[in-house]
A and B are shown apart, each in its own frame.
Chain A
Amino acid sequence: MNPFSLFLKRLSILLRRNRFRSELDEEMAFHREQAEKEFIAAGMAPQQAHLSALRQFGNATRVREQSHTFIAFRWETVAQDLHFALRQLLQNSGFALTAIFILALGMGVSVAIFAFVDAALIQPLPYHAPDRLMDVAENGAMHLRSDLSRDDYNDWKRLNHSFSSLEVYGGTGFLLRTPSGSEPVPAARVTDGFFGTLGVRPILGRDFRPGEDRPGGAKIVILTDGVWQRRFGGRTDVVGQSITLDGAAYTIVGVLPRTFEFAPRAIAEFYVPLLDKNVCEQRRGCHNLFGIGRLRDGVTPQAALQEMKAIAAQLAVQYPGSNQGQGAVVQPLSAIILGPVRPVLLTLLAAAGLLLLIASVNVASLLLVRSESRRREVAIRGTLGATPTRLSRQFITEGLLLALAGCFAGLFVSSWTMTILMTLIPTSMAGNLPFLARVGFHLHAAIFAGAIAVLTSALMALIPILRLSFMDIREGLGDGGRSAAGRFWQRIGANLVIVELSVAVVLLVGAGLLGKSFYRLLHVDLGFDASHLASLQMAAPESTYAKPEQKVALLREVTRRLSALPGVESVGITSDLPIQCNCDTDWIRIVGKPFHGEHNEVDERDVTPGYLPTLKARLIRGRLFSEDDDSSKAQKIIINEALAQKYFPGEDPIGKKVANGSLDPKSVREIIGEVGNVREGGLDDDIWPSEYQAMYYSPDNFVAIAVRTAGDEKAILPELIKTLHQVDPNLGTYGEITMTEQINSTQSALIHRFSTWLVGGFAVIALVLGVVGLYGVIAYSVSQRTREIGVRMALGAQRSTVYKMVMRQAGWLTFAGIGIGLACAVGASMLMDKLLFGVEAWDAATLAVVAVVLATASLAASFLPAHRAASVNPTEALRAE
């Protein structure tokens, strides 16, 4: 018979399934009656004959089932299993919801974290052949990677054969003229081949053409999509229009696509060609540009590095004054872009993976307990004719159903988690992490989620099978599962609990270490008083304030007006605020000390007389700047303690002189004071030697203002901006922030806060799951041993002995879990040492606290079942059998 007519026949039977059943039943009843009659005819007593006929016929249900398998569709039994599984789960909705919730949590969190990892580390950067793009930079004695100087770049570009193109970019800012006044805008200066090297084409207009970056070239600008939408309404006629930057007209030649991102200069709104050399670029020793190069086909990064090092060495011979000791670094562009986030993302992914592990183990042990308590049901169904295959299929169906529901719910959890994580990332940080725009449930995340779903489903399906295959039906029927199987469960269940507790320890230790790092980071010695300190950046148009005297006058006026505001105690102006970076450095030489051309690199800050007092920096010796320290006097500097210790060990530096390498008379300046180390670099950076020069000696148009207030420093920020605009409406202001906010939003603080909170959250969940798991095992074991405990007590065992017996079991499991966990935790923490600050992976205090916390929680969780065991009434326990 062909498959199609078979199908039709089955279908017709399906439609009258009830009739089929009743007919079969009637037929079988007839059969038994006939057999019975025959037995009676043979001389058997009617009662006896009835039983014999029944016995001879055997298991009617099985016959029915087997007949059914022939005429039924295969999916019908699956549907049956599903139906029954659903009923089972609904009946135990508490169990089902717990399991689904735990699974969904584990899976959702992992998938969400993976989506971030995917966007940052797995998806390629949105450039043409991104793996051939290299970050090209110099390096010096104190910098692993430092900017290129423009002259060095020109030589590198000319001399190298490794790169098909070698371009540079540098940060800059402009005052953009808008209808409502002047607005400071972040921008980038790039060489003409910058976008071509990345493989990015403007969607509107054109790219920079070769030669357009040369000094004296036309002032042209390319817009980013963001600024095009925000400032120009996305109009297509912007190309060819002119905008005013720093008082000069720039022609818009192109607009970049929306997908364009360039993390090293993520905040830039405008891209302009390099054009004229700025003050820094006049000197070969002044470094302000970073390079990107596209490797030629067949050239390895190592080969390129060797060549660039050779070129750097050649330049060091040629220009010893500026280039001695300057080397080269070549590394993948992705390393620069992703370097800071890679450790935190991988740590979070690992933590999420551990959470998923503990969640799966937890649900697995829940399933185990449940399959234990269903031993009698299984035994009965087996006796009633269910085949072992059919029985295990039932359990697999239930496990799969749970896993499926869990994973499905997990998808929602992952989408919520992603949204929550996104909102947790402050915009100040998100601006520098363009990859965040690519976070979402993409192909990779879908594959990852699928893999997790398959794994958990397999686990959920396998555990009951494993469990069933060890089970003897008769035993199950006989005593409700007490002896051997109880031991079996204890063994598996106990091992699972040890896994759970160990994972919880690893996560707790991780969270503890990260938390401690975070605390250390926020309590690092700043060298100044960060409370009641407000700050903002100010840009003065070069057209109005061209001469040094005009700039000084403006700075004095700004200081005077701001100081007069109510609630303001003092005002200081600087070239760079603290907690920024060890950057804007200078190479110094101590006059009268041996010098061999080495680069003695120090942070250099230009400050007004009020600045150091406003910070409340500690004056160690000498004096601070006064209003008279301007360009009419000899140049003077104040140094920090680190500089004094490094270059004047055991000496009084006051009155000593420093200069640049060539002892240029104009560069010679006298040290008039020494202050404590104000932390100029990031919270987790080393303290560098620093020199403070008088701002009035060489004033600038882009400055930062620090304001010490008596009261709320945040409330005064709008007042500061208003006052500056009263001084001159064309002053640009931006970056207004309190110092506390500034510290909290530094990259290192954000990364630490983020990882601490997340890993901490995971650890708490893990702790709860682990302890609940332990409770489950102990409680189950006690319930299984009720009779044994009854016998013991009947034989004279004291309640304290019973307590001890139960607690000993719990104690052993806890001890094993903590021991294994601590060992793994130290190993795991060493892997994340990049995230640790001021604390070692084997920090004894953290390990001890975690051990105590987990031990306490575990013992508390086991106390309940122990108490129940000790309250067993021997008579009742024995009678219950």
Chain B
Amino acid sequence: MKKPDLLPGTLDMLILKTLTRAPLHGYGIAQSIKRFSDDVLTVEEGSLYPALQRLLLQGWVKAEWKMTETNRRARFYTLTAAGRRQLGLEVSQFEQMIAAIGRVLSEPA
């Protein structure tokens, strides 16, 4: 089955939102997004890691190496204060856009 592609520009927002619950490693982020979207959204690994580098560079997330429950070294990403602000901004922008799209779509034909 072909799954719908992620809306362009939303990946950063989804990652930041996922990290509000708890620090996660890359695989965890991908799994989390998949689970919370009821398997509708799949994050391509090819986009996930470049996106994480971008967020790191912008200072919206922090990364540190920790041990997983299975005692495996992994890189965990934590949301920063700046990341939280950025998330708020992106969410409100996204909602404005969805609302706008909704208004256009609900216009009687």
Most buried by A among B30, B46, B56: B46
Q: What's the Cα separation between A67 and B53 when bound, in Å?
A: 6
Q: Which of A6, A13, A31, A58 is in CB contact (< 8 Å) with B26?
A: A31
Q: What's the Cα separation between A56 and B74 when bound, in Å?
A: 20
Q: Does A71 contact B (CB under 8 A)?
A: yes
Q: Does A62 contact B (CB under 8 A)?
A: yes
Q: Mark B56-98, 1 if CB is under 8 A from A, else 0.
A: 1111000001000000111100000010000000000000000
Closest to B72 in A: A30
CB of A63 within 8 A of CB of B50, answer: yes
Known: A6-B57, A58-B44, A63-B45. A69 touches B50 (CB 8 A): yes
Q: Mark B37-49, 1 if CB is under 8 A from A, else 0.
A: 0000000111001
CB of A24 within 8 A of CB of B57, answer: no
Q: How many residues of B contact A (CB 8 A)?
A: 22
CB of A67 within 8 A of CB of B50, answer: yes
Q: What's the Cα separation between A28 and B49 when bound, in Å?
A: 8
Known: A27-B26, A30-B25, A67-B53. A58 touches B46 (CB 8 A): yes
Chain B residues within 8 Å of A28, by CB: 26, 45, 49
Q: What's the Cα separation between A30 and B50 when bound, in Å?
A: 16
Q: Does A876 contact B (CB under 8 A)?
A: no
Q: Does A70 contact B (CB under 8 A)?
A: yes
Chain A residues within 8 Å of B44, by CB: 58
Q: What's the Cα separation between A26 and B66 when bound, in Å?
A: 13
Majority DSSP secondary structure for residues of B touching A: helix
CB of A59 within 8 A of CB of B46, answer: yes
CB of A31 within 8 A of CB of B46, answer: no
Q: Does B54 contact A (CB under 8 A)?
A: yes
Q: Does A393 contact B (CB under 8 A)?
A: no
Q: How far is the CB of A125 from chain B (nearest CB, A)?
A: 63
Chain A residues within 8 Å of B57, by CB: 6, 9-10, 13, 70-71
Q: Does A840 contact B (CB under 8 A)?
A: no
Chain A residues 57-76 with CB under 8 Å of chain B are: 57-59, 62-63, 66-71
Closest to A30 in B: B74
Chain A residues within 8 Å of B25, by CB: 27, 30
CB of B45 within 8 A of CB of A26, answer: no
Chain B residues within 8 Å of A31, by CB: 26-27, 30, 45
Most buried by A among B25, B50, B58, B73: B50
Chain B residues within 8 Å of A56, by CB: 45
Known: A30-B27, A34-B27. A23 touches B50 (CB 8 A): no
Chain B residues within 8 Å of A71, by CB: 53, 56-57
Q: Mark A702-742, 1 if CB is under 8 A from B, else 0.
A: 00000000000000000000000000000000000000000
CB of A70 within 8 A of CB of B54, answer: yes
Chain B residues within 8 Å of A27, by CB: 25-26, 49, 74-75
Closest to A9 in B: B57
Q: What's the Cα separation between A1 and B61 when bound, in Å?
A: 13
Closest to A64 in B: B49
Chain B residues within 8 Å of A826, by CB: none
Q: Mark A12-43, 1 if CB is under 8 A from B, else 0.
A: 01000000000110111011011100000000
Q: What's the Cα separation between A717 and B93 when bound, in Å?
A: 100
Most buried by A among B44, B53, B73: B53
Chain B residues within 8 Å of A63, by CB: 45-46, 49-50
Closest to B63 in A: A23
Q: What's the Cα separation between A9 and B59 when bound, in Å?
A: 9
Chain A residues within 8 Å of B56, by CB: 71
CB of B46 within 8 A of CB of A66, answer: yes
Closest to B86 in A: A1
CB of A58 within 8 A of CB of B74, answer: no
Closest to A27 in B: B75
The total of Cβ contacts below 8 Å across the A-B interface reads 65
Q: What's the Cα separation between A35 and B59 when bound, in Å?
A: 28
CB of A66 within 8 A of CB of B45, answer: no
Q: How many residues of A contact B (CB 8 A)?
A: 28
CB of B45 within 8 A of CB of A58, answer: yes
Closest to B47 in A: A66
Chain A residues within 8 Å of B59, by CB: 1, 5, 9
Q: Which of B46, B54, B73 is in CB contact (< 8 Å) with A26?
A: B73
Q: What's the Cα separation between A43 and B105 when bound, in Å?
A: 44
Q: Which of B26, B46, B50, B58 is in CB contact (< 8 Å) with A1?
A: B58
Q: What's the Cα separation between A204 and B61 when bound, in Å?
A: 79
CB of B75 within 8 A of CB of A23, answer: yes
Chain B residues within 8 Å of A69, by CB: 50
Q: What's the Cα separation between A31 and B27 when bound, in Å?
A: 5
Chain A residues within 8 Å of B52, by CB: 67
Q: How far is the CB of B73 from chain A (nearest CB, A)?
A: 7
Closest to A5 in B: B59
Q: Mark A822-840, 1 if CB is under 8 A from B, else 0.
A: 0000000000000000000
Q: How far is the CB of B2 from chain A (nearest CB, A)?
A: 15
Chain B residues within 8 Å of A13, by CB: 57
Closest to A31 in B: B27
Q: What's the Cα separation between A69 and B47 when bound, in Å?
A: 12
Chain B residues within 8 Å of A34, by CB: 27
Q: How far is the CB of A58 from chain B (nearest CB, A)?
A: 5
CB of A62 within 8 A of CB of B46, answer: yes
Q: What's the Cα separation between A31 and B50 when bound, in Å?
A: 14
CB of A24 within 8 A of CB of B49, answer: yes
Q: What's the Cα separation between A663 and B33 when bound, in Å?
A: 122
Chain B residues within 8 Å of A59, by CB: 46
Chain A residues within 8 Å of B75, by CB: 23, 26-27, 30
Q: What's the Cα separation between A706 and B54 when bound, in Å?
A: 93
Most buried by B among A31, A33, A58, A59: A31
Closest to A57 in B: B45
Closest to A385 in B: B46
Q: What's the Cα separation between A385 and B21 when bound, in Å?
A: 35
Chain A residues within 8 Å of B53, by CB: 24, 67-68, 70-71
Chain A residues within 8 Å of B72, by CB: 30, 33
Q: What's the Cα separation between A34 and B69 when bound, in Å?
A: 13
Chain B residues within 8 Å of A1, by CB: 58-59, 82
Q: How far is the CB of A607 from chain B (nearest CB, A)?
A: 97
Q: Mark B9-30, 1 if CB is under 8 A from A, else 0.
A: 0000000000000000111001
Q: How far is the CB of B40 from chain A (nearest CB, A)?
A: 17
Closest to A35 in B: B27
Q: What's the Cα separation between A10 and B27 when bound, in Å?
A: 25
Chain A residues within 8 Å of B30, by CB: 31
Q: What's the Cα separation between A10 and B58 when bound, in Å?
A: 10
Chain B residues within 8 Å of A66, by CB: 46, 49-50
Q: What's the Cα separation between A6 and B57 when bound, in Å?
A: 7
Q: What's the Cα separation between A325 and B70 when bound, in Å?
A: 117
Q: How far is the CB of A744 from chain B (nearest CB, A)?
A: 75
Closest to A37 in B: B70
Closest to B60 in A: A1
Closest to B25 in A: A30
Chain B residues within 8 Å of A35, by CB: 27
Q: How far is the CB of A651 from chain B (nearest CB, A)?
A: 105
Chain B residues within 8 Å of A23, by CB: 65, 75
Q: What's the Cα separation between A69 and B46 when bound, in Å?
A: 13
Closest to A58 in B: B46
Q: How far is the CB of A31 from chain B (nearest CB, A)?
A: 5
Q: What's the Cα separation between A724 and B56 when bound, in Å?
A: 98
Q: What's the Cα separation between A23 and B65 when bound, in Å?
A: 9
Q: How far is the CB of B33 from chain A (nearest CB, A)?
A: 14
Q: What's the Cα separation between A85 and B103 when bound, in Å?
A: 54
Chain A residues within 8 Å of B54, by CB: 70
Closest to A66 in B: B50
Q: How far is the CB of B76 from chain A (nearest CB, A)?
A: 10
In the assembled complex, 18 residue pairs joining A and B whose CB atoms fall closer than 8 Å, in A order, are A6-B58, A24-B49, A27-B26, A27-B49, A28-B45, A30-B25, A30-B72, A30-B75, A31-B26, A31-B45, A35-B27, A58-B45, A63-B45, A69-B50, A70-B54, A70-B57, A71-B53, A71-B57
Question: Considering the complex of A and B, which 5 residue pairs feature the smallest CB-CB distances, nearest first?
Answer: A66-B50, A34-B27, A67-B53, A67-B50, A31-B27
Known: A26-B73, A59-B46. 7 other contacts (CB 8 A): A6-B58, A23-B65, A30-B72, A33-B72, A56-B45, A70-B54, A71-B56
